[in-house]
Amino acid sequence: MPIRQSQRCDLVKQSDIRSMTLACAAVDGINLAQGVCDLDVPEPVLHGAEQAMRQGKNVYTRFDGLPEFRQAIARHQRRFQGLDLDPESNIVVSVGATGAFQATCAAMFDPGDEILLFEPFYGYHVNTLRSMDLTPTFVSLRQPDWSFTDDDLDAAASPKLRGVVLNTPLNPCGKVFTQEELERVARFCRKHDLMLLSDEIYEHFVYDGHRHISPATLPGMEERVVSISGVSKVFAVTGWRLGWAVCHSRWHEPIGHFNDLYYVCPPAPLQMGAANGLDQLGDDYYQELAEDHRRKRDRFCLALTRAGLKPHVPDGAYYALARIDHLPGRDSHERAMHLLRETGVACVPGRAFWNDPLGQGLARFCFAKRWPELEEACRRLEHFA
Ligand code: PLP
């Protein structure tokens, strides 16, 4: 008799991001598949963590995180979104935005509930929902401007629908939801009594005058919105696993409870490092970071154009979608593998972000690399043309 595995193993697809990363390592290529922000970690972040280790901040923290970190997050949310939060009852610190998302879903939804996502989507959101026996449903954004209407939302309403997952700026296409669009989603949530989970991990990566708006700032949404974010991207510490959920006080205990159950707490001294960074880094840090990524976006999209891989130029986040449907292969995965073989540059096939094996003929490239590596990727793609 074969040993059984859970049925969930079949529901939860293997991440193309991981498989392309492995394929890239096998050919010693340039990995533009994974969304690692490859930069130096800011000094106050390193210093804060190191000092905390030496000062004995090395034990379990409270179920919702260290007070110093929650206070720093509250100050950060006030500074960038004008939100007035109580660090004691509105913030749960978790193991990355990923952990915050999982704990929030566990606290809010029951097996069989439907949860609406915008397509293209971040695959981890979909897989997390499936792993919890929740049913993802989709509203497809229209290219080239990734638009949607009230009718699109209404068509997705159903008696089983309990929540909406929104990611702004949106991985993989870089859409930055406008105030008007967020209000449309908020109206829909109020009308159908839905929760809104807002993943804002790319909040500091917005370009060309676009502005990140947190749905938590919308009137009448206080109890319905949980905003999720973290420092993985903005402090280039994806391996530290530090994120948070910002929520109404009624959700603090339930989310905190699952967070405690799943993870106990993220590493205590690293929480102190992140707190130090949030408190000490000035507006110039965030502005320079966004400007550096804007320049990388422009350079990389130029290379994609020269390579004949027509890009969608993103307004936010640090990914570019580009056309690969003219490359040999039966689906987006085979085409992405062809590009990797020919250029040594790894991307993620569009099927990872759409319910469509052809992935709309697109692939996602991450341009958050150090300049020399990005230049080399550009050179290889331009040569490929
Ligand atoms: N949310 C989105 C939309 C992402 O793209 C990513 C990483 O790529 C994450 C969350 C993961 O964030 P964290 O490292 O904080 O878990």
- Cα(377) to ligand 1 centroid in Å equals 23
| Ligand 1 midpoint to CA 124 (Å) | 8
Q: What is the pLDDT of residue 7?
A: 84
Residue to probe by mutation, ligand 1, list 16, 18, 94, 98, most atoms within 8 Å of CB? 98
Ligand 1 neighbourhood includes 232 CB (under 6 angstroms): yes
Mutate to test the pocket of ligand 1, among 92, 201, 231 (most ligand atoms within 8 A of CB): 201
Select from 205, 233, 367 the residue to mutate for testing ligand 1; criterion: most ligand atoms less than 8 Å from CB.
Answer: 233
CA-to-CA distance for 156 and 137, rounded, in angstroms?
7
For atom 2 of ligand 1, the residue with the nearest CA is: 201
Q: How far apart are the first and last CA of the chain?
A: 52
Instruction: Tell me which amino acid residue 251 is.
Output: W
CB atoms within 10 A of CB 213: 21
**pLDDT score recorded for residue 38:** 83
pLDDT score, position 363:
97
Strands 319-323 and 311-312: antiparallel
Quote the Cα angle for 88-91-95, to 5°. Answer: 130
Rounded Cα gap, residues 119 and 344, in angstroms: 29
Domains for the chain: give ranges and CATH numbers. 7-41+284-384 (3.90.1150.10), 43-280 (3.40.640.10)
CB atoms within 10 A of CB 270: 23
Amino acid 358: pLDDT: 86
Length reported for the chain:
385
- The residue whose C-alpha atom lies closest to atom 12 belonging to ligand 1 is 97
Residues 6+ apart with CB under 8 A from 229: 97, 199, 200, 201, 203, 243, 244, 246
Whether 15 lines ligand 1, by a CB cut-off of 6 Å, is no
Tokens of 215: 């749905």
| Distance from residue 131's CA to the centre of ligand 1 (Å) | 17
DSSP string, 325-364: TTSSSSSHHHHHHHHHHHHSEE-EEGGGTSSSTTGGGEEE
Angle at the Cα of 352 from the Cα atoms of 346 and 356, rounded to 5 degrees: 125
Could you give the 3-state DSSP secondary structure of residue 177?
coil
Q: Which ligand 1 atom sits nearest the alpha carbon of residue 242?
A: 15
CA distance 155 to 209: 32
User: Would you say the CB of residue 120 lies under 6 angstroms from ligand 1?
Assistant: no
Alpha-helix runs per DSSP H in the chain: 8-11, 16-26, 43-54, 67-81, 96-108, 123-131, 150-155, 179-192, 249-263, 268-280, 283-306, 332-343, 371-384
Residue nearest to atom 6 of ligand 1 (CA): 201
Q: For residue 56, what are the contacts with CB-CB under 8 A and spacing of at least 6?
A: none
Which residue has 């449309």 as its token pair? 184
Render each residue's pLDDT in the chain as its tens digit; 385 residues. 889 998 888 777 778 998 999 999 999 999 999 988 889 999 999 999 999 999 999 999 999 999 999 999 999 999 999 999 999 999 999 999 999 999 999 999 999 999 999 999 999 999 999 999 999 999 999 999 999 999 999 999 999 999 999 999 999 999 999 999 999 999 999 999 999 999 999 999 999 999 999 999 999 999 999 999 999 999 999 999 999 999 999 999 999 999 999 999 999 999 999 999 999 999 999 999 999 999 999 999 999 999 999 999 999 999 999 999 999 999 989 999 999 999 999 999 999 999 988 889 999 999 999 999 999 999 999 998 7
Condensed to tens digits (0 to 9), the pLDDT of residues 274-308 reads 999 999 999 999 999 999 999 999 999 999 999 99
Residue-level pLDDT at 2? 83
d(CA 361, CA 94): 36
Question: How many C-beta atoms surround the C-beta of residue 80 within 10 A?
Answer: 16
